[in-house]
Chains A and B, each alone.
Chain A
Amino acid sequence: MSEKVSELSMLEAINETLHSEMARDERIVVLGEDVGRNGGVFRATEGLIEKFGENRVVDTPISEAAIAGSAVGLAMAGLVPVAEIQFLGFSYQAMHQIAGQIARLRYRTQSRFEPQITIRAPFGGGVRTPELHSDSLEAQFANIPGLKIVLPATASDAKGLLTSAIRDPDPVLFLEPLRGYRGIRDLVPDEEHAIPLGEANLVKKGDDIVIISWSYQVELSKRVAESLEEDGVSVAVLDLRSIVPLDVEALTQIVAHCGRAVVVQEAPETGGFASEIIATINDECFWSLEAPVARVSGFDVPYPVGMLENLYVPDEARIRAAVLKTMEEE
C-alpha cells in the first residue's frame, strides 16, 4: 500500500490541515488577529475566509485576553475554537485566560466540560523577528497542569499533530517554529493524517549518545548527528513532538540504550524544559547513564535582537561540541 504524499513546507502543511479540519467539522471557528482577510501574517490561515466565510474565520481586535477568553465561551457553547496568537510572546497578554481559565476548566467541572480548544502560535528565533516575537516560552506553559503542549519539527508532523490537537478533548497549545514555516519541507500524506499526542519520534537511531529535542532544534540535531557518523560516533535523535504529554517511555528507552544524552532547547537555560527532561532521566534511568546529561540552550537573557540572535540560538557547532564533550566524559 503506497500512501500518496506531497512535498510541502511546514506552513503549507498547517494551512492544508486547517482547511481540511474546518471542512470536516463545521463547529470549528478560527479566530485571531488578521487571520481572515489578510490570511494571517505568515499566511497560515490563507484562503480559509474565502472557503468558510467570515462567521467561521474571525478577524479579532488586537486583544489577546479576549481571543483566549472568548475561546472558552465558544467551547462552552459547543463550538471548537482554533485561536491564533500572532506570536507566542504575545501570549503574556492572554496568560490569565490560558493558565487561569482554559487549563483549569476540566478540573473545575470534573470533566463535564471538555475544553476542546486549540491555540496556535508561531515562536522561536532565527528569522530576525524582534524580542517578544521570538521567545521560546514552552516551559512556562509546561508548568500549567491541564494544558497540552505540542511542537512539530516536520511538515508531516505539523499536519499529523495539528489534526490531533484540534480533535483533542483537552486544550492544546500548538507551537509552530518560525524558522520552520518555510525552512522545513518534507513529504506530507495527502490523506487524513493524525499522529497521537504524546508519542515521541526516534528520527534517527544511534548507539553511543542521543540528542533529545523538539521543534526546529530537531532539524539541527539531525544534521549534527549525521555529520558525527562520519567521525564514527553513532548518534540517535529523539523528537519529543510534545512536552506535555511527555513520552517518558521512549525517552527512557533511548537514554538507557545509549547511556549518554544531550538535550537541546532554544529557551533560556534556567527553568527550561531541558531541566525537566534531565530530572525525568534521573528518576527513570539514572543508573544507565555513563555521563552527566548535557544541555544546549539559549542564554539567560531577554531574547536579543538583530545579529546577536546568531549567538543566542543554539547552532550546529554548539550542539556538536556538547555531544563530543559528553562522549569524552568517563
Chain B
Amino acid sequence: MEITDEILIDLYKRMVRVRLFEEEAGRLAESARLPGFLHLYVGEEAVAAGVCGALESQDQITSTHRGHGHLLAKGGDFNRMMAELMGKATGYCNGKGGSMHICDLDLAMLGANGIVGAGVPISVGAAYANKLTGNGLISVSFFGDGATNIGAFHEAANMAAALSLPMLFVCENNEYAEYSPRHKTMAITDVIERAAAYGFPGAIVDGMDCVAVFEAASLAIEKIRGGEGPMMLECKTYRFYDHVGVKGTASDYRTDEEVEEMRKRDPLVVHETRLIESGIMDADSIQAIKDDIQKEVDISVEFADQSPFPELEDMLVDVYTNGESS
C-alpha cells in the first residue's frame, strides 16, 4: 500500500503525543505529584501509533496496564488523562479509576486494564458484536508478551479463532514480564507461535518502527475486515523505563548496555531520521510539532492542577443505575 507523506506525519504526531505526555507524567511522578502506580509507554510508541493510525475511529481497542499510549495514539484527551492520573474529579474516571482503568467510549477505547490479559476476552465480545451486526468494524486487543502466559489470553485466542471473529491481536513484546525476562517465563522465542497454535495467522513486526507497524497492521486489518478471521501481530519492542515509574537503568533485571543499545533504536528518532532524509520535514518543522504538543501537555498539567479532587459524595455514586450506591 502507498504510504503518503500525510500518513508519515500523522504517525509521527501520534508518537510525539505519547512520548511528551509520558515524559511529563514521569516527571510528575518523580516529584510525587501523581498518586499510585505509573506504567510508562516510553519506547513502545511505534506500536500504538502504527496500529491506531491504521484503524477507523470506531474500531474498538482494549488496552493494558501500560495503557496511556493506546488511548493517546487513538486521540485521547490530554486534560482528562492528566487529571485522572492526578486523581482529580475532572479525569476520565472522575479520579476513581486511575492510570490503569481509563476508558473512552467515544473513541471506542473499551478500557485500559490493571490485570494482565484481562482486556483480551473483552475484545472478543466486541469483535463478536461487530460480526453479528455487520457494522464493518474490527476490534483490537493490545497486550504484552507476559499476558500470553495467562489463561484469559488463551481462552480469548481460541474463541476468536473458533468463531472466526474480526479481531486483531497485538502483542507488544518488550521482552520483560514486569521484571522477569521472556526466556525465564516461556520456552518459545516468538510469541507469534501461539497464534498458530489456535489456527490463525500472524506476523512478527519491528515494533520500534511505526511505518513497519502501520504497514503490517494495515494489511492485517484489511484481511480481517474482509472476513478472514483473527490475526496477530507480534511487535518486538522495548520499554525504556522500568515496569513501574521512571529510572530504566541501574537495575538488577537488565543491563544498562542493553537499554543503551535499544535506545539507539528510539522509535521517534528512527522516524525523524526518515522524515528528514526523505525531505518530508526538516528539523524546524519537527521541533514545531514537539513545541505544539508540549504546549498541550503543559495545559493538561495546569488543568489537572487546578481541578478539584473528588469528594465523598462522588465516591458513593455510579455503583448502580441512577447514580445509586447500594
Q: Which residues of A contact B (CB under 8 A)?
A: 29, 55-56, 58, 60-61, 63-66, 68-79, 81, 96-97, 100-101, 104-114, 145-146, 148, 168-170, 244-245
Contacts and interface: CB of A to CB of B under 8 A. Distances in A.
Contacts of A112: 105
B125 interface: yes
Nearest to B98: A108
Interface string B118-132: 101111111111111
A100 B114 CA distance: 9
A241 to B, nearest CB: 16
B111 A108 contact: yes
A104 B156 CA distance: 21
Contacts of B320: 106, 146, 148, 170, 245
Most buried by A among B114, B121, B163, B319: B121
Summarize A's interface: helix, strand, loop or mixed: mixed
Given A63-B159, A70-B128, A146-B319, A101 B122 contact: yes
Nearest to A117: B125
Interface stretch (B39-47, B89-97, B282-290): B89-97
Contact of A73 (B127, B133, B152, B317): B127
A108 B326 contact: no
A212 B139 CA distance: 47
A175 B121 CA distance: 23
Given A108-B111, A170-B320, 16 more contacts: A29-B129, A58-B163, A66-B152, A68-B121, A74-B125, A77-B60, A97-B121, A97-B122, A101-B118, A106-B319, A108-B93, A108-B101, A109-B103, A109-B318, A111-B323, A245-B320
Nearest to B165: A70
Nearest to A70: B125
B326 A74 contact: no
B151 A65 contact: yes
Contacts of B114: 100
Contacts of B115: 96, 100
Instruction: Give 6 closest A-B pairs by Cβ, nearest first.
Output: A73-B125, A69-B121, A70-B125, A77-B129, A63-B155, A73-B126
25 contacts: A29-B128, A55-B131, A58-B163, A61-B158, A61-B162, A63-B155, A65-B152, A69-B121, A69-B122, A72-B121, A73-B121, A73-B127, A73-B139, A76-B125, A77-B125, A77-B129, A96-B152, A106-B320, A106-B321, A107-B96, A107-B97, A107-B318, A110-B318, A113-B105, A145-B326
Contacts of B60: 73, 76-77
Contacts of B124: 66, 69-70, 73
A60 B159 contact: yes
Contact of B122 (A70, A145, A169): A70
B171 interface: no
Nearest to A68: B121
A77 B130 contact: yes
Given A96-B118, A100-B115, A109-B103, A70 B326 contact: no
Contacts of A70: 121-122, 124-125, 128, 156, 159
Nearest to B324: A245
Most buried by B among A72, A113, A114: A72
